[in-house]
Amino acid sequence: AQTVTQSQPEMSVQEAETVTLSCTYDTSESDYYLFWYKQPPSRQMILVIRQEAYKQQNATENRFSVNFQKAAKSFSLKISDSQLGDAAMYFCAYRRMGSGGSNYKLTFGKGTLLTVNP
Amino acid sequence: DAGVIQSPRHEVTEMGQEVTLRCKPISGHNSLFWYRQTMMRGLELLIYFNNNVPIDDSGMPEDRFSAKMPNASFSTLKIQPSEPRDSAVYFCASSFGWSNQPQHFGDGTRLSIL
């Protein structure tokens, strides 16, 4: 079974600084998707960024970028120029790719609570 | 565009009562998911529908839980009878297809069973 591990329960960053959130996963599959979701105090789950395992290029979305290391099964999220609105719980998630099986299932990590200090 | 709409946002009820949570997926999405979020277990998939048909309900914890999707624009998750350990945040999510499209989540329903 796939597992997703976020080893940092909490992180903090100063406004305008850069922070990196860690995520590792375990899978025997070669093709899959990885996601980062943000959950602010409002509780909504917001998709931040997505990475396809077959793509070597790291995904970027404005101030958010990932460092995808397939061999190491690592998928970290970098937030540049941190803003107060970035304060939230961040979840890393995994999903299989391809047809058949349970590839609709998202497996989530336990989350990292990010605090942004003014 | 309207996102996934869930109601109610908060629900407080006494043990033993029936609870019904509602979800309206994004128009055009044909996959719908119900999740439960707790501190202890994190986010867990309860049930998955594709084209209104339940495909995987292996995450439904007990027979007290049931879910329906009578049409493409509406789904319910029902707990009867409710117990204090059912207290959690319940999320509904939808996507177009299920293979390569991301899931979009609603705002969740915070359920408290006294």
Torsion of CA B12, A40, B90, B58, to 10 degrees: -160
Both tokens of B48, joined, read 């998955």
For residue A10, the cross-strand partners are A113
Q: How far is B32 from chain A (nearest CA, A)?
A: 10
Which of A47-61, A65-79, A99-113 shows the lowest per-residue confidence on average (mean pLDDT)?
A: A99-113
Q: Is the predicted pLDDT of residue A98 greater than 80, yes or no?
A: no
**pLDDT for B99:** 60
Q: Is the predicted pLDDT of residue A96 greater than 90, yes or no?
A: no
Torsion of CA A111, A112, A116, B1, to 10 degrees: -20
Q: What is the DSSP letter of A85?
A: G
**pLDDT for B112:** 97
pLDDT averaged over every residue in chain A: 92
**Nearest CB partner across the interface for B98, out of A35, A44, A104:** A104
Quickly state the pLDDT bin for A101 (edges 50, 70, 90).
low
Q: Which residues of B touch A104 (CB under 8 A)?
A: 31, 33, 48, 50, 55-56, 98-99
Both tokens of A7, joined, read 């080893």
Using alpha carbons, list the distances in angstroms from residue A55 to A31, A51, B20, B56. Answer: 10, 7, 42, 29
**pLDDT for A43:** 86
How far is residue A117's CA from residue B3's CA, in Å, rounded to a whole number?
A: 30
Quickly state the pLDDT bin for A56 (edges 50, 70, 90).
confident
With CB atoms and an 8 Å threshold, state whether B102 touches A91: no
Pairing of strands A112-117, A10-14: parallel
- For chain B, give percent helix, strand, coil, nearest 5: 5, 55, 45
Q: Which residues of B touch A37 (CB under 8 A)?
A: 105
With CB atoms and an 8 Å threshold, state whether B99 touches A104: yes
Q: Which residues of B touch A110 (CB under 8 A)?
A: 42
Q: Is the predicted pLDDT of residue A100 greater than 80, yes or no?
A: no
B2-25 in b/e form (b: 16+ CB < 10 A) is eebebeeeebeeeeeeebebbbbb
Quickly state the pLDDT bin for B93 (edges 50, 70, 90).
very high
Query: Token match 């293979």: residue?
Result: B99
- Among residues B7, B38, B17, the alpha carbon closest in space to that of B82 is found at B17
Q: Which are the contacts of A28, defined by CB distance < 8 A and separation ≥ 6? A: none
Pairing of strands B10-13, B109-113: parallel
**pLDDT for A102:** 63
pLDDT averaged over every residue in chain B: 93
pLDDT digits (tens, 9 = 90+) for B3-20: 999 999 999 999 999 999
Q: Is the predicted pLDDT of residue A7 greater than 90, yes or no?
A: yes
- For chain A, give percent helix, strand, coil, nearest 5: 5, 50, 45
**Nearest CB partner across the interface for B102, out of A44, A50, A111:** A50
Q: What is the mean pLDDT of residues A61-72?
A: 96
